[in-house]
Structure 1
């Protein structure tokens, strides 16, 4: 199954389950505990979650004009769209029909449906907006408390840096380089999704991507992701040159090992990765600027792949690196492969 579709279906399933649990809890708290009442509530929740979740995941998230709206305008537009669908579901009385209950026809029921739809649409909208702002996976990790206490995980860590961004900043100006980086990162993120990576952070002109060991080992996903990024940028050269007068080029590094993952901070908490693996990956990225192909992968990362890479890599031996007395064994990919 396509990675993007798989992710969307997984999130849709999570929305349906969360909605069902919340619906049952609310109805029980209000004293509605008969089987028909619970069936009606679950029917409403299921249909609403499927419709709103599908609209959000398959339509709104891919809308370029929505992305350009300020947060308040975005909330207003999304809430209106959600409300239209929720009102329609309420007026169709799918819950009563599913549970075999008497249909409601009074004007009071109509206005109650309007009020209910408005409240639910705003709540859903804020939830989706926050998830989109910090990332769906990070949002779920915060809600579940998975990293409230720090844990150690084995991770692949991919650093990707946009080459020559300092010179581009002088050429394009502050606003111009921001738009350039935004467009580039959006394009690179498509490859991250395709190869089931997780964007850890955007730092200046750099994007950091990670994979859990089990996921990243399949089909050399981190390595293939970097190559896919370069190929995507190569295809977009005419578009970038037309709009910015320059096209982005990237270099990168890949490492593997144990990292400490946990929440940190109070006013603006974040889930961060710490450890020697992060430092080593960053230093490998610095070294990648000096090698043909602009990419370095540690032997530790290559050894964890479940299969051989689908293209040739060349052994670069042991390179000296800051913080390591014995250096680090690395491989590279040729410039032709990296940009094909």
Structure 2
């Protein structure tokens, strides 16, 4: 039976929904906790001068209103910041921008909720509106206490999301949970992506401009990584090593599509590269799939590494691109997993790769 694949729009909505759910839960818990600590500590709310019993229901309702409101707007602002290429800045600037923008959102929401509470307390005769005006109420000690809590929460989330983006969401989660503290065997695909004619380009541009070129190219690679669910295993000089789980690699042929997404992105920026560097960068790639051992290594600097001949084979395949004058070469294992469809596979040869004892069938790939 033919399996219907989820649309790109559907996947985007699903990702935003997951982020929204996380933010709603986080902020509801934060504000319910802060309000409980504040109210039970002082025994009264805002400018109520007489001891007043604060019902638990009011604490929970206020916490939920604040959490849902801020969680919703927090998600909107996060999406907007990403659309503004937030992650192209330094890590410190990313944390500062995220914290500042989201703190402003928190301040506006807190002010609105505080005003609603003011109206409620006036109606219940808890305060004298002739003595305490709305502005004084909004800047009360309780609201300031909540605002400090929101600032701390924003800062913590900003660091969390920035580190997650820096390390990579999947690797960050795996390091956090210790998934690979003990070696595990997985079926994964790898792509070795390398700048064509890199030595010549480096000589022509000089080291500084060449490094800027590589930075821009890998920056433009980002959208392809997101679209095809790729992980960056390593950046080595002018080479990027991408990785996928078996499921993500085969879904919509991501392990092949990643190359063509990246190629299209570079072509769309052709005018920029010609004006800035006097050239159009072209990358070549080799792809392979198979069993690898995954393990977390290091103490002072921890990382997740892969051990297998699968990676060596992918690297060797990529090195043949110049010899066969092709930009994308894959192993027979990839061809068998992907099959015919959106791509055409041309057998290049049954090649004995360096360091191998058995020949490997290599295929050139083109879009149909």
> Which residue of 2 is the match for residue 16 of structure 1?
23
> Which residue of 1 is the match for residue 287 of structure 2?
254
**Residues 87 and 113 of structure 1 are in contact (CA less than 8 Å); yes or no, is this contact kept in structure 2?**
no
Task: Compute the TM-score of the two structures, normalised by the length of structure 2.
Answer: 0.78
Does residue 1:80 correspond to 2:100, yes or no? yes
TM-superposed CA distance for 1:11, in Å, is 5.1
Does residue 1:316 correspond to 2:341, yes or no? no
- In structure 1, how many angstroms separate the alpha carbons of the residues matched to 2:25 and 2:233? 25
1:218 maps to which of 217, 226, 251: 251
Distance 1:92 1:241, change over 3 A: same
- In structure 1, how many angstroms separate the alpha carbons of the residues matched to 2:362 and 2:16? 38
SS for the counterpart of 2:187 is strand
Aligned residues: 331
Distance 1:110 1:23, change over 3 A: closer
* TM-superposition CA deviations, 1:220-270 (whole Å, max 9, x none): 221122123223323322221111111111111110101122221111111
Does residue 1:229 correspond to 2:262, yes or no? yes
* TM-superposition CA deviations, 1:290-316 (whole Å, max 9, x none): 1132221111112122x5231321112
**Residues 219 and 309 of structure 1 are in contact (CA less than 8 Å); yes or no, is this contact kept in structure 2?**
no
- In structure 2, how many angstroms separate the alpha carbons of the residues matched to 1:14 and 1:20? 10
**Residues 193 and 283 of structure 2 are in contact (CA less than 8 Å); yes or no, is this contact kept in structure 1?**
yes
Task: Compute the TM-score of the two structures, normalised by the length of structure 1.
Answer: 0.84
SS for the counterpart of 2:104 is helix
- In structure 2, how many angstroms separate the alpha carbons of the residues matched to 1:311 and 1:70? 38
1:296 maps to which of 324, 329, 339: 329
> Which residue of 2 is the match for residue 89 of structure 1?
109
Does residue 1:167 correspond to 2:200, yes or no? yes
**Residues 27 and 38 of structure 1 are in contact (CA less than 8 Å); yes or no, is this contact kept in structure 2?**
no
- In structure 2, how many angstroms separate the alpha carbons of the residues matched to 1:276 and 1:35? 61
Distance 1:20 1:140, change over 3 A: farther
Q: Cα RMSD between the aligned structures? A: 3.2
Show structure 1 runs of 5+ residues with no match: none
Does residue 1:179 correspond to 2:212, yes or no? yes
Pairs within 5 Å for 1:99-118 = 105=137, 107-118=140-151
Pairs within 5 Å for 1:49-198 = 49-56=71-78, 58-64=79-85, 66-67=86-87, 69-93=89-113, 105=137, 107-198=140-231
Between 262-271 and 164-173, report the one with greater CA deviation.
Answer: 164-173
SS for the counterpart of 1:325 is coil
1:41 maps to which of 63, 76, 79: 63
- In structure 2, how many angstroms separate the alpha carbons of the residues matched to 1:270 and 1:331? 32
> Which residue of 2 is the match for residue 332 of structure 1?
364
- In structure 2, how many angstroms separate the alpha carbons of the residues matched to 1:40 and 1:110? 12
Between 79-88 and 225-234, report the one with greater CA deviation.
Answer: 225-234
Between 146-155 and 201-210, report the one with greater CA deviation.
Answer: 146-155
SS for the counterpart of 2:251 is helix
